Chains A and B, each alone.
Chain A
Amino acid sequence: MASVHESLYFNPMLTNGVVHANVFGVRDWVTPHKMALLVLLSELGRAGAQLGLLERRRLNRLLLPLLQGPDMALSRLRKAIEECCPHLAGSVHIRLKLMAEGELKDMEQFFDDLSDSFSGTEPEVHKTSVVGLFLRHMILAYNKLSFSQVYKLYTALQQYFQKDEKKNGADENEMELTNPEELDGKMEKEELDGPLREEDIACSGPLSQKQAEYFLSQQASLLKNDETKALAPASLQKELNNLLKFNPDFAEAHYLSYLNSLRVQDVFSSTHSLLHYFDRLILTGAESKSNGDEGYGRSLRYAALNLAALHCRFGHYQQAELALQEAIRIAQESNDHVCLQHCLSWLYILEQKIFDSCVLLEHSVNKSLHFGLPYLASLGIQSLVQQRAFAGKAANKLMDALKDSDLLHWKHSLSELIDISIAQKTAIWRLYGRSTMALQQAQTLLSMNSLEAVNVGVQQNNTESFAVVLCHLAELHAEQGYFAAASEILKHLKERFPPNSQHAQLWMLFDQKIQFERAMNDGRYHVADSLVAGITALNSIEGVYRKAIVLKAQNQMSEAHKLLQKLLIHCQKIKNTEMVISVLLSMAELYWRSSCHTIALPVLLQALALAREYSLQYLASETLLNLAFSQLILGIPEQALNILHMAIEPVLAHGAVLDKGCAMFLVAKCQVASAASYTPQKKIEALESAILNLNEAKTYFAKVDCKEQLRDVLYFQARLFHTLGKTQERNKCAMLFRQLHQELPAHGVPLINAFK
């Protein structure tokens, strides 16, 4: 089941108020890059009417990202301009060259001339326009510089220009060789929006303020959305340390370093970074607002809250609770309802570890809606739906709730939550045993484009929802016998979520489960047994269950029974109904294998009641099959047939191929058994229809390669053909049976007594 994992609540960039991407007071400084922009602007003004409409429009579109973006190398800037207007790029370059190779007074003259653009009756630039503001900012910043700073700026400009010249000299030869088509529009996009590549950062030395901000926000969003694309933990930490060495006041770097440490599960350095970040944040907060209530009092609350989140992440629930209590207390004292809502959600997460706390959650949803916190509210709804689904609440209500939360998502375009909601639906449909619906939801998510504009060009993020959906997809395919497709999906998962990333455990578990099922089908129990350890490591309950199944298959009944008994008690305690029913079914199977059908019956009835109560339809029909089998053995095949009519439909519609085969086989057996009392004419009809059913079962078994079951079916079919006197068909079946029989070892369970 998809879990609304605590990591979602822990979402620094989105939750209201924890992190402001830009808390440092941005002050403009003249840099060589900005000077190049100024040159561009002045050239633009000078060119005036000579520019064509198209060129002008392209340039205008280029300007805004340039003005707001980080500093870049001159060559990149020139390329960007060249794409819009080659002529202008040339003149900008010449102006810069003149200035850089000239004297200091050239630069001074340039700045003096700049302010002219505002003067006159019809100024070229309006004072309050974007460009005008930029120009004025720059002029102001320049005028503030002391003499030595001006000189420094000039040498920086020279270096900026010379670096470009040098690079050009080196690149000249290569440039000629590359295909000019590669340099078209696509390039620009990549250059401007593409993530900073590792070597870019490594060689560019110290970053400018804007570059640093850009780097931080980008890495943070990558960490959230697509861990694999972010820098490797070690190199990211190196970059951060570098940044912090140059400017220890750059608090956000501490936060990113905290996130980075979380990636590698490092409690010590993550705590250290988190606290350091908040110590720093408190400063900036205190400066901006003298009033303690809004300023740093607020960051104090969030500091405690984040500490709670950290401890929760590392599984220190007791510590987390203490920190949370603290956060709640401070938030209450200062009447901060928004913070209290966050605390409440976290309280739920923590309490969840101990007992079901729907009340808390309902409260949280109500309040969050009231205070206009859609993210929290809908996360609450998701968690609530998950809870209720496990608790067996009516499905229609749950779907209704999910629909409501979807409305909320689309209204506020919370793209991440949309993904989660769909993943949740996939999981819920699977829980209810509606594989087609689950399949449909999974495909919906996978073919949807992300709303977030962070990664342009990348349509989907590598978030947990995608991992969940892909895993379900793989399992669904495996169930239908499309093992090649399933392994293809798993391969894709492995690429998208490398083994050491956050969500890798999910596919690891599913991979092993699928392998386990295959091994069991093939009767390679030793292989299955070896997989159990891996499954246990990822999910202990599942592991124990699988261990019991292997033991059962190896005819170690008493051990299996002991294990199942223990598991049952445990699952009943933690209210894992899905597992309880599975365990009950396995136990019933153990009983009828030991020919204790009378004991198996109440167990099965209990399982059926549970499955019906929690509307786990698929498990219910499986229970019915078991029940029918028991009835068959107990000598009431008519009754069994009745029940089967009820169960066969959902099994054929949604079931796994193996289950379909078993069901058809069982139907055939019942038909034969009940035919004993029929008139000869009717009996022949019944037997023939049984043969048809057996044929169907055979195709199903063949699909998943279940040789043992196949052998049994063939034997049974041969007997039926014999009864009907169809010697040729009988011989054919017998021959096939003989082949399989030689291939496989015979197991102890008599044929008729086996249902699975």
Chain B
Amino acid sequence: AVIGRAGAMAAAMVAAVAGGGGDFSDLREIKKQLLSVAERSRERGLQHSGKWAAELAFALEPLPLSELPPPPVLTEEDARDLDAYTLAKSYFDLKEYDRAAYFLRGCKSQKAYFLYMYSRYLSGEKKKDDETVDSLGPLEKGQVKNEALRELRVELSKKHKAQELDGFGLYLYGVVLRKLDLVKEAIDVFVEAAHVLPLHWGAWLELCNLITDKEMLKFLSLPDTWMKEFFLAHIYTELQLIEEALQKYQSLIDAGFSKSTYIISQIAVAYHNIRDIDKALSIFNELRKQDPFRIENMDTFSNLLYVRSMKPELSYLAHNLCEIDKYRVETCCVIGNYYSLRSQHEKAALYFQRALKLNPRYLGAWTLMGHEYMEMKNTSAAIQAYRHAIEVNKRDYRAWYGLGQTYEILKMPFYCLYYYRRAHQLRPNDSRMLVALGECYEKLNQLVESKKCYWRAYAVGDVEKMALVKLAKLHEQLNESEQAAQCYIKYIQDIYSCGEVVEHLEVSTAFRYLAQYYFKCKLWDEASACAQKCCAFNDTREEGKALLRQILQLRNQGETSSTDVAAPFFLPASLSANNTPTRRVSPLNLSSVTP
């Protein structure tokens, strides 16, 4: 392990020397590479990798005839297997995998061998999916396995040991290992595949799915090619390191991939993840202009439209997608969102269910379905849906959060703490979980913990801007008037500084409290300023007026006691300086026991 680590470090050093990342100076060369790998992927039936490479190649300038990559050179072996390959490939394209494999047996050339193994793998997968429907009992349902995997592993590992596998072969070996839950071995093989054939996006993508945290990423020795940049950008998005991901994508755009729809969509998803809704929306709109028949990522787009309650746009999107292809997971999801926005929750749930039927591993739909059930007040079904989501992906913070909310609705504040904590651990700088935690602690009368939560929620950048008010109210409850006033001041600053015109409900409360606070402290000027503000709101107008009158009276009585006022009180310099939210923080240690 020590040697391996040292090797990785050495590789990292080399990368640093080579100029810290990929070299994008020769875009023509890159385009050539992309075109050739797209072709080679297609030959092997790897549709998605082919598509990715082709998409990316499309974003670059077209090549003149003289520079087009030559057709791949055929070897003696290839020529011998050509007939079998051609026949098998056509069977393969028609999804007759067993038939394809039958005619390919005994082929020695790399291409034919890969197709042979790949057909066997796909045949196993297809049978597995079919079997699940007619199993012999509830327990057997989960036991249906891809029977081919074991044999494939044995054969491939033999070849692997003899170093007879090319990049595609290694990729397939990795996939087989991953399906057998041999994660560590799979990672090693995928890394090897990336070294042998860095242009094959599929291997990188598999690697993305297997790496769970930043530490793991650090110790991988990856080939230093321009493909690595794409990989890093992608995995940063996956690991919620949005800032880094956006930087990477920006540099890729600067390098010349500005037209790539893939990059645009990834950026949009990244903005969605950090809840920068406006930016994400505009990018998605742009994307739809460039690629109007695109279905991928449209579920994310619909989520954004949903959050902004943009009914007409969502409706248009749903109709549009439905016309393109109504039996796609994304389409179902968009329609589900559409119904949900129209408060037709039963129908929404139905569409999410349909999405899950189309792809049981489609995580988002489980969570969304949970939300729908919550809306329908069917808590047990909601819990079921959320639990399924967690089963698919333990790191799905929305499902944990949803479970917490469900139990909160069931009036079990202590019980839901666990779920909120889970969500918080996954998203340490998301204020919503912190506010939820704070509320639960408040219900449990654990005011110290509650204060901690609210304060942290404010510190990480409160989205809903409610943490400060809640904190202030807590202080009020505890008779800590000084702190309460501070919080209200900060709250008011916050509201005014972001220039939100929307009437915030709690602003009047804040001014009322401040007015009374200053009144008690005998700071007449501030008190009257606040009281005047109070008069601007309906619910506090009378109180404000009464207070103003009182102030006037008292002022007249004790003119001498009034002190000089230095600065406008609600913008003290010391406070406004330190409220920039921290970027990435560790989870809050709420109590000694945080299971």
**Segment from B131-139, B260-268, B563-571 that makes contact with A:** B131-139
Q: Is the CB of B138 within 8 A of A247?
A: yes
Q: Are B391 and A307 in contact (CB under 8 A)?
A: no
Interfacial residues of chain B within 93-146, with CB under 8 A of chain A in the complex? 134-143
Residues of A close to B419: CB separation below 8 A: 275
> For window 257-313 of chain A, which residues contact chain B by CB distance below 8 Å?
267-268, 270-272, 275-276, 279-280, 282-283, 285-286, 295-296, 300, 303-304, 307, 311
A673 CB–B CB distance under 8 Å: no
Give bound CA distance, A304 to B416, whole Å: 10
Which of chain B's residues has its CB closest to A243's CB?
A: B139
Residue among A145, A250, A275 with most chain B CB within 10 A: A275
A326-B380 in contact (CB<8A): no
Give chain A nearest CB distance to B428 CB in angstroms.
18
Known: A267-B595, A272-B595, A304-B412. A279 touches B383 (CB 8 A): yes
Chain B residues, CB < 8 A from A246: 139, 141-143
CB of B316 within 8 Å of the partner chain: no
Could you say which residues of chain A place their CB within 8 Å of the CB of B58?
none
For the complex, is B279 an interface residue (Cβ under 8 Å from A)? no
Q: Are A330 and B411 in contact (CB under 8 A)?
A: yes
Contact for B418 among A208, A275, A325, CB less than 8 A = A275
Nearest Cβ on chain B to A343's Cβ, whole angstroms:
13
> For residue B140, which residues in chain A have a CB less than 8 angstroms away from its CB?
206
Contacts of A275 in B (CB 8 A): 415, 418-419
Contacting pair B137 A209 (CB below 8 A): yes
* Alpha-carbon gap, A304 to B136, bound state (A): 37
Kindly state whether residue B253 has any CB partner on chain A within 8 Å. no
Assembled-state Cα–Cα distance A300/B380 (Å) = 10
| A145 vs B414: C-alpha distance when bound (angstroms) | 47
Which residue of chain B has the shortest Cβ distance to A300 in the bound complex? B410
When the two chains form the complex, which single residue of B141, B383, B391, B412 contacts A283, counting CB atoms closer than 8 Å? Answer: B383
> Chain A residues near B379 (CB, 8 Å)?
296
Q: In the complex, which of the residues B142, B414, B592 contacts A323, with contact meaning CB atoms closer than 8 Å? A: B414
- B 422-460 to A, binary, CB cutoff 8 A, 1 in contact else 0: 000000000000000000000010100000000000000
CA A248 – CA B392 in complex, angstroms?
11
- Min CB distance A300 to B, Å, is 6
Task: Provide the residues of chain B in CB contact with A286, threshold 8 Å.
Answer: 380-381
Interface string of B370-381 (1 = CB under 8 A from A): 000000000111
Indicate whether A149 sits within 8 Å of B136 (C-beta atoms), given known contacts A246-B143, A267-B595: yes
- Cα distance A483–B379 in the bound complex, in angstroms: 63
Q: Mark A313-326, 1 if CB is under 8 A from B, else 0.
A: 01010010011011
Question: Smallest CB-CB separation from A269: which chain B residue?
Answer: B595
Question: Taking the nearest CB of chain A, how far is it from the CB of B411, in angstroms?
Answer: 7
A248 to B360, CA, bound (A): 14
Residues 368 to 421 of chain B near chain A (Cβ within 8 Å): 379-381, 383-384, 387, 391, 403, 410-415, 418-419
State whether B136 touches A300 (Cβ < 8 A): no
B138: chain A residues within 8 A (beta carbon): 24, 27, 209, 247, 249
Task: Using known A-B contacts A275-B418, A307-B415, determine if residue A148 contacts B142 with beta carbons closer than 8 Å.
Answer: no
Q: Hey, which chain B residues are within 8 Å of A325, CB to CB?
A: 414
User: In the complex, are the beta carbons of B136 and A30 less than 8 A apart?
Assistant: yes
Residue of A whose beta carbon sits closest to that of B384: A283
Task: Bits for B152-183, please: 1 = Cβ < 8 Å to A, else 0.
Answer: 00000000000000000000000000000000
A245 within 8 A of B: yes
Question: Is A153 located at the chain interface by the 8 A CB criterion?
Answer: yes
A732 within 8 A of B: no
**Assembled-state Cα–Cα distance A716/B133 (Å):** 95
A118 close to chain B: CB less than 8 A: no
What A residues does B411 contact at CB under 8 A? 329-330, 333
User: Does A126 make an interface contact (CB < 8 A)?
Assistant: no
Residues in A with CB closer than 8 Å to B412 are 300, 303-304, 326, 330
CB contacts (< 8 Å) of A250 on chain B: these are: 139
Residues of A within 8 A of B136 (CB): 29-31, 145, 149, 152-153, 156
Assess whether B593 is interfacial by the CB under 8 Å rule: yes
Task: Given A149-B134, A282-B383, answer yes or no on A212-B139 (Cβ-Cβ < 8 Å).
Answer: yes
Whether B142 lies near A279 (C-beta < 8 A) is no
* Residue-wise interface mask of A (130-161) relative to B, using a CB-CB cutoff of 8 A (1 in contact, 0 not): 00000000000000011011001100100000
Complex Cα gap A325–B444 (Å): 9
**What is the distance, in angstroms, from A85's C-beta to the closest C-beta of chain B?**
30
Alpha-carbon separation in the docked complex, A246 to B142 (Å): 4
Q: Is the CB of A304 within 8 A of B383?
A: no
Residues of B within 8 A of A212 (CB): 139
- Name the residue among B383, B411, B415, B591 with the largest chain A CB count within 10 angstroms: B415
**Whole-angstrom distance between the alpha carbons of A148 and B133 in the complex?**
10
- Judged by a CB distance under 8 angstroms, whether A44 is at the interface is no
By the criterion CB–CB under 8 Å, are A271 and B137 in contact?
no
Docked Cα-Cα span, A558 to B419, in Å, equals 55
Inter-chain CA distance A283–B383, complex, in Å, is 8
Interface size class for chain B? 20 to 34
Interface size on A, residues (CB 8 A): 53
Residues of chain B with a CB closer than 8 A to A329's CB: 411
Q: How far is the CB of B438 from chain A (nearest CB, A)?
A: 15
Contact between chains at A271 and B595 (CB < 8 Å): yes
Give the complex CA separation of A247 and B593 in angstroms.
31
Q: CB within 8 A of B380: which of A152, A271, A283?
A: A283
Q: Contact: A268 with B142, CB < 8 Å?
A: no
Q: Is A207 an interface residue (CB 8 A)?
A: yes
**A247 and chain B: residue at smallest CB distance:** B142
Tell which of B134, B142, B384 touches A245, judged by Cβ atoms closer than 8 Å: B142
Across-interface contacts of A311 in B (CB, < 8 A): 593
Q: Mark B554-595, 1 if CB is under 8 A from A, else 0.
A: 000000000000000000000000000000000000011101
A282→B380 contact, CB < 8 A: yes
Q: A248's contact among B383, B391, B593, by CB below 8 Å, is which?
A: B391
Residue of A nearest to B415 (CB): A304
Residue among B141, B142, B418, B595 with the highest chain A CB neighbour number at 10 A: B595
Q: A267-B595, A300-B410, A304-B415 are in contact. Are A279 and B139 (CB under 8 A)?
A: no
Q: Whose C-beta in chain A lies nearest to the C-beta of B380?
A: A286
In the assembled complex, how far is the CB of residue A307 from the closest CB belonging to chain B, in whole angstroms? Answer: 6
Closest B residue to A325 using CB positions: B414
Closest beta carbon of chain A to B320's beta carbon, Å: 37
The reply to whether A146 and B134 contact each other, CB–CB distance below 8 Å, is: yes
Residue in contact with B387 in the complex, picked from A153, A276, A300, A303, CB distance below 8 Å: A276
Contacts of B384 in A (CB 8 A): 279, 283
Q: Which residues of B contact A314 (CB under 8 A)?
A: 593
B137 touches A322 (CB 8 A): no
Closest chain B CB from A641 CB (angstroms): 60
Measured CA separation A207–B414 after assembly (Å): 37
How far, in angstroms, from A304 to B414 measured CA to CA in the complex? 8
Distance in angstroms from B387 CB to nearest chain A CB is: 5
Which chain B residue shows the least CB distance to A149?
B134
For A52-81 the 0/1 string (1 means CB < 8 A from B) is 000000000000000000000000000000
In the complex, which residue of chain A has the Cβ closest to the Cβ of B144?
A246
Closest chain B residue to A333 by CB distance?
Answer: B411
Chain B residue contacts of A152, Cβ below 8 A: 134, 136
Are A322 and B414 in contact (CB-based, < 8 A)?
yes
- In the complex the two chains form, is B413's CB within 8 Å of A326's CB? yes
Which residue of the partner chain, among B142, B415, B446, contacts A326 with CB atoms under 8 Å? B415
Min CB gap A415→B, angstroms: 33
Given known contacts A246-B143, A286-B380, A326-B412, is B137 in contact with A29 (CB within 8 Å)? yes
Q: Which of B139, B387, B418, B595 contacts A280 (CB 8 A)?
A: B387
Chosen A-B contacts, 9 in total, with CB atoms closer than 8 Å, are A152-B136, A246-B139, A271-B418, A279-B403, A286-B381, A311-B593, A322-B446, A323-B414, A330-B411
| Given A146-B134, A314-B593, 4 new contacts (CB under 8 A) | A247-B139, A275-B419, A296-B380, A319-B414
B residues at A contact (CB < 8 Å): 134-143, 379-381, 383-384, 387, 391, 403, 410-415, 418-419, 444, 446, 591-593, 595
Q: What 10 A-B pairs come out closest when comparing CB atoms? A: A286-B380, A246-B142, A271-B595, A29-B137, A322-B414, A149-B134, A247-B142, A206-B143, A326-B414, A209-B139
